[in-house]
Amino acid sequence: MGSVQLRDIRKSYGPVEVLHGIDLDVADGEFVVLVGPSGCGKSTLLRSLAGLETISGGEISIDGSSIVHLHPKSRDIAMVFQNYALYPHMNVAKNMGFPLKMAKVNQETIDKKVAQAAEILGLAPMLERFPKQLSGGQRQRVAMGRAIVRDPKVFLFDEPLSNLDAALRVQMRAEIKQLHQRLGTTIVYVTHDQIEAMTMADKIVVMKDGHVEQIGAPLDLYDRPANKFVAGFIGSPAMNFLPAVVENGQAVLADGNRLTPAPVGLTNGQTFTAGVRPEHIMITDQGAAGTVTVVEPTGAEIQFIVDLAGTPTLVSTRDRMQLTQGDQVHLAIEPGRLIAFDAETGARLGSA
């Protein structure tokens, strides 16, 4: 078992509080990803869980028992770092077996556990190699192997793929997901990359400035963001935001163009920020008029930046549309796809 409970976690460095009361439940076997911009407190939270930072307040439990007083070594948690932290003078087998050796496990058991982990990670033919004889992805696997041999209740990963090139990142993220499916161990994984979070997580925790903004399954966050921050952070290309007002039940833009019915629960005359994802905008014969300013073919789709009532608005389509800069177009929004946010606070308003 390896369920984790965080209650009102606070962390200050001197007078500065950087975690402002974090609550989080991680179920046994769950893959939870903490995501948010650099500096929002992800690593601090992870390191607090591992016992590498002393929290200023709150309670951390594993399977219902407090671990706050426990030394990192006694927490039954294994952490994988971004920089791998391998010992250059030790071969792969010794690097992987090192935590067991420190724990005075007998050599026969170490060899067995290392062989098992190497098998799982595809490192069996490389046990005699030294870190400098390995690729970045292989080094990352050794670092994971060193965590696996400990058979911990919880794995922690802090941006493990940041040092890898783009293609390898995509490959390793699938490998880590498969590894989780095979081992079934609880994972708490930190990244600033929302695509990594979306593709890997059972549950995403979006953080900002030491607060949790929203917790949910990837597509829940994508389809039902709680606020403008989450809406803008999750999804690439990002959601469009347009200033709007409700008139006769319609969402109306600054230039008087009507977009679509306003979400239920808004009142006539109310100003708000309209959020629309690029793939939910259709280029049609009627609808709000705008001017194409940029055409970006990505291959699978074409992205158009359209000036809509003074706001550059990204439209993405799989149609091979022959449009060029300066063309006049009309945009319509798929029914029910407009999300309203409070123009001041960014909180979500009404419902679709």
**Distance of CA 58 to CAs 5, 9, 66, 69, 277, Å?**
11, 4, 10, 12, 38
Strand ranges inside 119-158, DSSP E:
154-158
Please identify, using beta-carbon distances, which residue of 40 and 309 lies nearer to ligand ADP.
40
Is residue 82 part of the contact set for ligand ADP (CB under 6 A)? Answer: no
- Part of the chain binding ligand ADP (CB under 6 A), chosen from 31-39, 58-66, 97-105, 135-143: 31-39
Helix/strand/coil percentages in the chain, nearest 5: 30, 35, 35
CB 330 within 8 A of CB 287: yes
Choose which of 31, 32, 43, 161 interacts with ligand ADP (CB under 6 A): 43
The first and second tokens of residue 47, run together, are 């390191």
Q: State the Rg of the chain over Cα.
A: 24
Residues linked to residue 215 through DSSP beta bridges, in sequence order: 205
CA neighbor of 35 nearest in space, from 170, 158, 151: 158
Choose which of 31, 33, 42, 218 interacts with ligand ADP (CB under 6 A): 42
- Part of the chain binding Mg ion (CB under 5 A), chosen from 36-44, 68-76, 180-188, 252-260: 36-44
- Part of the chain binding ligand ADP (CB under 6 A), chosen from 35-43, 73-81, 90-98, 108-116: 35-43
Binding mask 285-324 for ligand ADP (x = CB under 6 A): ----------------------------------------
The first and second tokens of residue 195, run together, are 């695509």
Please, what is the minimum distance in Å from the beta carbon of residue 147 to Mg ion? Answer: 18
CB atoms within 10 A of CB 250: 15
CA neighbor of 21 nearest in space, from 52, 50, 51, 48: 48
Backbone phi, psi, residue 109, to 5°: -65, -40
Please identify, using beta-carbon distances, which residue of 164 and 288 lies nearer to Mg ion.
164
What is the size of the binding site for ligand ADP (CB under 6 A)? Answer: 10
Residue number, nearest CB to Mg ion? 43
Backbone phi, psi, residue 141, to 5°: -65, -35
Please identify, using beta-carbon distances, which residue of 43 and 140 lies nearer to ligand ADP.
43
Residues 41-60 that bind Mg ion (CB under 5 A): 43
Residues linked to residue 16 through DSSP beta bridges, in sequence order: 13
CA–CA distance, 124 with 118 (Å, rounded to integer): 5
DSSP H or E segment with residue 244: strand 240-247
Please, what is the minimum distance in Å from the beta carbon of residue 175 to Mg ion? Answer: 22
Please identify, using beta-carbon distances, which residue of 35 and 339 lies nearer to Mg ion.
35
Is residue 39 part of the contact set for ligand ADP (CB under 6 A)? Answer: yes
- Part of the chain binding ligand ADP (CB under 6 A), chosen from 39-47, 72-80, 108-116, 132-140: 39-47
Is residue 260 part of the contact set for Mg ion (CB under 5 A)? Answer: no
- Part of the chain binding ligand ADP (CB under 6 A), chosen from 36-44, 96-104, 114-122, 136-144: 36-44
- Residues at the contact surface with Mg ion, assessed by CB under 5 A: 43
- Residues at the contact surface with ligand ADP, assessed by CB under 6 A: 13, 18, 36, 38-44
